[in-house]
Amino acid sequence: MSMVQESIEVGVPLSTAYNQWTQFEDFPRFMEGVEQVTQLDERRNHWRTKVAGVTREFDTEIVDQLPDHKIAWRTVGGDVQQMGLVTFEPLDERRTQVRLAIDFEPDGLAEKAADAMGIVDRRVKGDLERFKAFIEERGVEEGGWRGRITPGG
């Protein structure tokens, strides 16, 4: 497994950043290579990505979600192996630190080479920068889900 860790400060309150992040179907608007995310239920999302001309579809399951604090997920089934955690920390009333950590298993020569060259790290950093621009431009979230999901629950 390879790990990517990136963080960014966004100029919106904690609840605004967190609420927007729970709008998974908006991810294609700021995540490079993500073509579509369909929320299947409170825990599961179906993803379609296209990276370097390769389209993949897979499902993720939220395994731990604590409003205004964290969302942890993992892939289920399929050939994509990934798990991740995004956390939210208030810096003050108007600024939030967003930290993203992803463990993934590169599949095939192209993905292994991209990982070795730091391309995955740069993509995640770019995704966070686009999230920052996305939420700061609006100033308010487009929705939010405040439910609690507990591990094994």
Tokens (6 digits) for 84: 């991740």
CATH (residue range 2-138): 3.30.530.20
Kindly write down the DSSP assignment for every residue of 89-142, as one continuous string: EEEETTEEEEEEEEEE---HHHHHHHHHTTHHHHHHHHHHHHHHHHHHHHSS-S
Tens digit of each residue's pLDDT (9 = 90 or more) over 82-136: 999 999 999 999 999 999 999 988 777 777 777 677 778 898 999 999 999 999 9
Question: According to the model, what pLDDT value does residue 6 have?
Answer: 97
**Residue length, the chain?**
153
Angstrom CA distances, 21 to 31, 63, 104, stand at 12, 16, 20
Tokens (6 digits) for 122: 């740069």
